[in-house]
């Protein structure tokens, strides 16, 4: 009997075989680390208890809720959920594999909310690891900006450093350009989509960026796509949406709505 991992690898190989052109194209993959929102342990404005339990991925705002990564990518146009595994270890509560058309695969991990320190450190370590020569890779962090919290400051000394490489990094968290960019650059990675204000790091932004990455969009285009998606779902102006991601214009931080 094939394991879920075997099925995932088989599916990726099948994508490559779909056409003669695809055989020459590099594999395009995104690794997503989701720190589940947690009212009890994170320095956040509390959200409703049902979606704010960092031990419950099924209902968590950033995973199982309407605009959480698992739910949103499972239903978005052109996307397929290839399967999920529960309880990878005590820290990663669920791992799901997704595909967008025949262009992109995504692996998303739901980290226990109280282990946001581990989630950020693992994200930085992935960002510092050069991609395979035949691959296009991106790594994404989604969740509370834990670097804002004093108790997480010690992990900064453990952030890796590396010579520059081609792996792109995205941080969907409040004020992430200020708190993450310099460390990502020191790790050798390129922060292509970061934020310049408080924001709701919901999965429609990830979905827009992922499609852009699959289509080999540049940094400016991905930031604009992130802003457009944010404006649409947050019901704000296009200009305000773009400003969250530093695209084309700067604006004062805007209020956010967690769906």
23/115 Cα distance (integer angstroms): 39
- The pLDDT value given to residue 198: 97
- The pLDDT value given to residue 124: 98
Q: What does the block give as tokens for 23?
A: 């055989």
Q: Which domain holds residue 67?
A: 27-219
Residue 247 falls inside a structural domain: no
Q: Please check whether residue 171 is in contact with residue 146, taking contact to mean a CB–CB distance below 8 angstroms.
A: no
Residue 1 falls inside a structural domain: no
192/245 Cα distance (integer angstroms): 10
Residue 51 falls inside a structural domain: yes
- The pLDDT value given to residue 248: 54
What residues have CB less than 8 Å from 127, skipping those under 6 apart?
A: 139, 167, 169, 184, 187, 188, 189
Residue 68 falls inside a structural domain: yes
What residues have CB less than 8 Å from 230, skipping those under 6 apart?
A: 199, 204, 205, 236, 241, 244, 245
Q: Please check whether residue 173 is in contact with residue 194, taking contact to mean a CB–CB distance below 8 angstroms.
A: no
Torsion, Cα of 204, 208, 210, 211 (10° steps): 130
Structurally, how many domains does the chain consist of?
1
Residue 212 falls inside a structural domain: yes
pLDDT along the chain (259 residues), means of 10: 44 42 62 97 93 98 98 97 97 97 96 98 97 90 96 95 93 98 97 97 98 96 98 97 78 43
Residue 238 falls inside a structural domain: no
Residue tagged 């020459």 (tokens): 24
Q: Is the dihedral of CA 37, 43, 47, 53 positive or negative?
A: positive
Residue 71 falls inside a structural domain: yes
């Amino acid at each position: 009997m094939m394991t879920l991992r075997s099925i995932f690898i088989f599916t990726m190989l099948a994508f490559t075989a779909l056409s003669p052109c695809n055989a020459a194209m590099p594999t395009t993959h995104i690794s997503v680390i989701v720190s589940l929102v947690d009212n009890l342990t994170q320095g956040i404005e509390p959200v409703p208890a049902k979606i704010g339990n960092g031990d419950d991925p099924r209902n968590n705002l950033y995973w199982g809720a309407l605009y959480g990564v698992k739910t949103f990518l499972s239903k978005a146009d052109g996307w397929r959920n290839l399967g999920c595994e529960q309880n990878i270890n005590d820290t990663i509560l669920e791992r799901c594999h997704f595909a967008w058309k025949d262009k992109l695969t995504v692996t998303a991990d739901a980290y226990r909310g109280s282990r946001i320190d581990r989630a950020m450190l693992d994200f930085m370590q992935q960002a510092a690891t050069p991609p395979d020569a035949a691959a296009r890779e991106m790594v994404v962090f989604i969740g509370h900006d834990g670097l804002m919290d004093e108790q997480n400051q010690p992990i900064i000394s453990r952030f890796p450093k590396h010579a520059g490489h081609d792996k792109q990094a995205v941080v969907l968290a409040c004020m992430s350009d200020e708190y993450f960019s310099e460390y990502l650059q020191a790790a050798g990675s390129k922060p292509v989509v970061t934020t310049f204000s408080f924001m709701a790091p919901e999965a429609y932004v990830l979905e827009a960026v992922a499609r852009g990455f699959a289509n080999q969009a540049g940094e400016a285009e991905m930031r604009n796509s992130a802003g457009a998606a944010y404006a649409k779902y947050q019901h704000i102006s296009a200009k305000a949406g773009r400003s969250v991601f530093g695209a084309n214009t700067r604006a004062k931080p805007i209020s956010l709505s967690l769906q």
